Structure 1
Amino acid sequence: MKKLWPIVLLFVAACKQKEYNADLLVKNAVVYTVDSAFTTANAFVVSGGKIISVGSADTLEEKYLAREVIDAGGKAIYPGFIDAHAHFYEYGLGLQQVPLKGLKSWAEVVDTVKAYADRNADGWIIGNGWDQNIWDGKKFPDKALLDESFPVRPVILHRVDGHAVIANQAALNIAGIKPGQKVTGGEIETINGKLTGVLIDNAVGIVTRKIPDPTEQLTQNALLSAQANCFAVGLTTVDDCGLPYSMVNTIAELQHKGALKMRLYVMLADRPENYEYLFKRGVFKTPGLDVRSFKVYADGALGSRGACLLKPYNDQKIGAAFY
């Protein structure tokens, strides 16, 4: 019996050595460490959702026994990308609304909105992404086709840069907008004394403030949809610029539940209630969320003709830059 003890001890030692001490080993890759020398490695090890070691596959395979091994086939692997100026939540909301980006004419935009309305029978119709610069003539649209298709239901469609919208008469009526009305830092476009439906910069808020707040479910869908698309292209942290303070707790709760894994640096919009919130409670910081600054708006955008110029826009006969 005594002669068997060495064999038993060797067996126990072998079993102990075979215990898993990592979750994942990725090898045969070009791993960009992004250190000061921009060195590369060909393997790394993950445990508990974190990279715990980077180096050569031979060395790491000797040191770690992973539950899963992935051969990257020589592909490049980078640390997660960070977007320093994004509108993460607004992007997610846009994914729940009418997609208008890339449409080649105003008629095509209206047809797309009508198709969306057939599938979604209630509430405001909100769209995103139209761009008159890719249409023949490059002229801003007029609301006449929207009024014809939607005489009662309010419609607001955001330009691709977020600095202008077109709204139908039903939406303008809800907001109380009249021809000749002026707004500081914005423009309510009229032609021959009639509203075209185009609103630029600060004029946009006159209508958007009348839109009911998104439901809790819609807000969650927006955040998670944006996350899925960002993760798919390697974005793991975003700076979301111009949120209301009410979104801070929503984001924090979703992160705490583990549903929202995107890391966010949030700038609050420059509104009194947001200043009061952050100045009163101070910096809000968790492992996945950092709130400590504001986005302040100083000017418009060229594409929506809201940026201040010394002379009027040469492709627009009506209106002029505003100050």
Structure 2
Amino acid sequence: MAADLVLTNAEIHTLTDPDDVHEALAVRDGRVVRLGSAYEVAFLEGVETRTIDLEGRVLLPGFVDAHTHLTEVGTRLVHADLSGAGSAAEAVSRLADRADETDAGWVQGYGYDESGWSDARYLDRDDLDGVSTDRPVVAFREDMHTAGINGVALDRLGDRLPVDDVLEANGVPTGVVVEDALGPVREAIAPDVDETRDRLRAAIDHANACGVTGIHDLVRHSHAPRVYRDLRREGDLSLRVRINYWSDHLDALREVGLGTDDGDEFVRTGAIKSFTDGSFGGRTAKLSEPYADGEGSGKWVVSPSELHDLVERADADGYQFTAHAIGDAAIDAVLDAYEATEAGAARHRIEHVELPSESAIERLAETGVVASVQPNFLKWAGEDGLYESRLGTDRRRRSNPFRDLLDAGVHLAFGSDSMPLDPLFGVQQAVNAPVEGQRLTVTEALRAYTHGAAYAGFDEDRLGTVEPGKAADFTVLDSSPWDEREAIADIDVAMTVVDGAVVHDAR
């Protein structure tokens, strides 16, 4: 039987083995049916076969982003993008431009990172009052654990903001809010169904352009699950989505009988998600020792006892569980909660795992818990970076120890946390990590963004490598990451294929 699609004259890396490289492949009904030389695969060409000459380009399994927030990606495409702003003044200028473009509602900005600014401070009320004193304004830090709001927003939200998470100076709110105080802000700016659809459509197109063929999306009180299923029903969903629901959705999922891995080829239910701590940027990640540049050792967003109860409930009902844990104390708390479960069989996960102790790495390997990590974060791990100021040299050098995790036998899954959503950027960070002893090979980093992420979603039998019988999800690059180790992020994605259909073509 003839193939639907033939991709030929390529450098196809299956990622099953470093030396397994082929010249051509054939696809039928959304599955790979043959790999081999151009001559061998050509026998499957028929009258209606689409044959594409890739002109020597590199073909890989499609990237799977194991941790993202796709609505937020779309929001940044629609609202003010503050990423890359070189100063507070530049970020405020971008917000002011956005305010001029809209005449009602909140002025929203996303993604600023003050760690590279000369004054290295959060955007606050004074900054954002400069954008507007008539309309509420919010500027989210890149990690989404800290935001600045103006006076109008402070007055409007009032007592809904938990006092402990509203930063003050001399008893007066600065406009900087963290952790639980972000809840009322998010509720106030939450998009409706149509707005969510617009944002997700923009984000999906962006993801496909970055070579992403599948995501694990973490959602809470969002219309995204409905929109994904609507797009799927309409035949307009061009990436595979695994939805990880916040723990406050657990009872609802149980009531409707929607369990982990339920769904179809494109939209499936994933894990139950919880926080434990915050972030290094906000000094809210929970550490066993105090921060190097401030008082305290972080905070519990969800206490260990509450986390233990959540894990016990979810695991008893057969759900995969995943917990955000960045600081070493938080990582230990999650592992403690998982000890009473068959964590490996359930493929329970920890998101971020930024500062695990040596004993925690051993426990991760022994229990089979998946380390869902973000190589993008290594951009803050240099000698003069954010981690150095927050943690000091020793802990900074021990952060994000991907080599130690992999060598210990821990299941490693890469994701972006949308900072930014760009697998090639993350691969470059992992291959060129600031601490030389923690660097991965190009193949190892690519496998973490393909097979490793697929494994984290129970998908290794259908995704993550290029093999006969597996889904025809591919990323095609203009040049080889093995040849451009220090500039992997600069490689252009020439084509993205999902389920045998070309969803992005920039050749």
TM-score normalized with structure 2 length: 0.55
1:189 to 1:40, Cα distance in 2 relative to 1, 3 A: same
Contact 1:278 1:292 in 2 (8 A): no
Shift of 1:82: 0.9
Residue 42 in structure 1 maps to residue 23 in structure 2: yes
Which deviates more, 231-240 or 170-179?
Answer: 170-179
Shift of 1:270: 2.2
Q: Which residue of 2 aligns with 1:220?
A: 197
1:155 to 1:144, Cα distance in 2 relative to 1, 3 A: same
Q: Which residue of 1 aligns with 2:324?
A: none
In 2, the alpha carbon distance for the partners of 1:259 and 1:160 equals: 30
Which of 227, 236, 246 is the equivalent residue of 1:269? 246
1:245 to 1:204, Cα distance in 2 relative to 1, 3 A: closer
Residue 64 in structure 1 maps to residue 45 in structure 2: yes
Shift of 1:170: 0.9
1:87 to 1:170, Cα distance in 2 relative to 1, 3 A: same
Q: Which residue of 2 aligns with 1:247?
A: 224
Alignment of 1:224-303 (within 5 A): 224-244=201-221, 246-271=223-248, 274-281=249-256, 282-283=258-259, 284-303=262-281
Alignment of 1:1-323 (within 5 A): 21-35=2-16, 39-65=20-46, 67-177=49-159, 182-183=163-164, 187-211=165-189, 213-244=190-221, 246-271=223-248, 274-281=249-256, 282-283=258-259, 284-310=262-288, 313-316=291-294, 321-323=298-300
Shift of 1:265: 1.0
Q: Which has the higher strand share?
A: 1
Shift of 1:114: 0.7
Q: Which residue of 1 aligns with 2:439?
A: none
Paired residues, number: 296
Query: Which ranges of structure 2 fall in alignment gaps of 5 or more residues?
Result: 301-507
Shift of 1:243: 3.3
In 1, the alpha carbon distance for the partners of 2:274 and 2:21 equals: 40
1:196 to 1:320, Cα distance in 2 relative to 1, 3 A: farther
Shift of 1:94: 2.1
In 2, the alpha carbon distance for the partners of 1:240 and 1:314 equals: 33
Contact 2:8 2:23 in 1 (8 A): yes
Contact 1:244 1:268 in 2 (8 A): no
Q: Secondary structure at the match of 1:145?
A: helix
Which deviates more, 114-123 or 214-223?
Answer: 214-223
Deviations 1:251-284 (CA, angstroms, capped at 9, x unpaired)? 111111111221111111122xx12221112224
Shift of 1:36: 5.9
In 2, the alpha carbon distance for the partners of 1:39 and 1:311 equals: 46
Q: Secondary structure at the match of 2:10?
A: strand
Relative contact order (C-alpha < 8 Å, sep 6+): which is higher? 2
Deviations 1:72-128 (CA, angstroms, capped at 9, x unpaired)? 222210111111111122212221111000101111111111111111111111110
Contact 1:125 1:154 in 2 (8 A): yes
1:246 to 1:68, Cα distance in 2 relative to 1, 3 A: closer
1:311 to 1:58, Cα distance in 2 relative to 1, 3 A: closer
In 1, the alpha carbon distance for the partners of 2:16 and 2:214 equals: 19
Shift of 1:290: 1.2
Q: Which residue of 1 aligns with 2:377?
A: none
Contact 1:152 1:170 in 2 (8 A): yes
Query: Which ranges of structure 1 fall in alignment gaps of 5 or more residues?
Result: 1-19
Contact 1:172 1:207 in 2 (8 A): no
Contact 1:223 1:260 in 2 (8 A): no
Give the partner amino acid of 2:192.
T
In 2, the alpha carbon distance for the partners of 1:68 and 1:320 equals: 59
In 1, the alpha carbon distance for the partners of 2:30 and 2:17 equals: 24
In 2, the alpha carbon distance for the partners of 1:290 and 1:99 equals: 30
